Amino acid sequence: MNKFLISPAANFAPSVCIGLIKVFFFVIISILYGHNNNNNNNMGVIGATKVMTLNQTVVPALFAFGDSIIDPGNNNYLKTIVKCNFPPYGRNFIGGIPTGRFSNGRIPTDILADEILNIKKLLPAYLDPSLQLKDLLTGVSFASGGSGYDPLTSQVVSVLSLSDQLEMFKDVIRKIKAGVGESRAGMIVSKSIFLICLGSDDIANTYLTTPFRQPHYDITAYTDLMAESASSFIQDLYKEGARRIGVVSIPPIGCVPSQRTLSGDISRGCNEQGNQAAILFNSKLSSLLTSLNNKLPQATLLYLDIYNPLLTLIQNPATYGLEVANKGCCGTGNIEVSILCNPFTKQSCNDASTYLFWDSYHPSEKAYQLLTHMVFDHKINNFF
């Protein structure tokens, strides 16, 4: 992993941003999407109470693998421009701190760990040098903004691949075994929930934006490649002892603000090519999980649909207490994301809780809270 790591003290530098904007626009802008001060209002029509009470004897830990949607700051420690550890990111996070989460506040894994699984308030980044054994025992996130099922996706932007994330999880198992013994470590792994969330970057960036894959794959073949990678990764996790595994589908990526902008549609409608690709992959992912449930006798594999819940918010924002659904809060909301959403970005909205999207690709904390409950409230008991 040393090829990626940099000093935690490395900070955002405006001069670097200027020289990288052209490259960033072409390679990065399409790969990312995707406690508020008004916490009591964040749940909208979903309701603010927990739908179930789980304690750590049922779910001892949450381990997360994926991309920027659930990256709590791993990219802070990588040699990549896919970062957000600077304002205005995190402006509604605890203490107003930009932690490297691609949002104005918490992200889905924080909400899942706290409000649904009742494990801990925040799910930390594995690369955070301050982590202790007690943090590992209740779970961490290995997710890296810009990653994907396709190995090329992470290579293009120098972030953690799925194989990198798997190796880090193996390292966690070794540390847990050394700390609490092999028997307890096995129990923790077998009873924990494993969350996989990625694929958007493969389609929005690697396939639709860069010239690397389209000459060799049509979208059917490319989504086959993604599904094969997903299958291999899930089976690798199973070999390491994981049994409760939830896999999040790809959202309607053609409807996020940056994709609306890049499509060139003057009316800023959704990019249907991106949405259709997401639907195609999601159908393959759902079938794959059904097949693996039969193949892996002790596994409980859940398909977690994010496509339809997010589309519901996009089409009916007012129903959920949202006012703006076609652009982000940061800057103009049309193109700003990662280093383009920075301390010098002007015109940002005053209240991110009224926006579905924080930047041009990632939902706001309020939207994440709505979506996390919409996805998990009726699914979580299926793990048991």
Catalytic residues: 68, 359, 362
247, 66 Cβ separation under 8 angstroms: no
Which among 101, 99, 114 has a CA at the least distance from the CA of 42?
A: 114
Give the number of other CB atoms < 10 A from CB of residue 164: 20
Give φ, ψ of 181 to 5 degrees: 95, 155
Give the number of other CB atoms < 10 A from CB of residue 132: 8
Q: Per DSSP, what are the bridge partners of residue 187?
A: none
Could you give the CA distance from residue 206 to residue 213 in angstroms, rounded to a whole number?
7
Q: Is the dihedral of CA 33, 34, 36, 40 positive or negative?
A: positive
Token readout for 313 is 């918010």
Contacts 24+ apart (CB under 8 A), 228-231: 229/149, 229/150, 229/151, 229/162, 230/149, 230/196, 230/199, 230/285, 230/288, 231/288, 231/292
Could you give the CA distance from residue 206 to residue 225 in angstroms, rounded to a whole number?
12
Helices 182-191 and 162-180: crossing angle in degrees, nearest 10, is 140
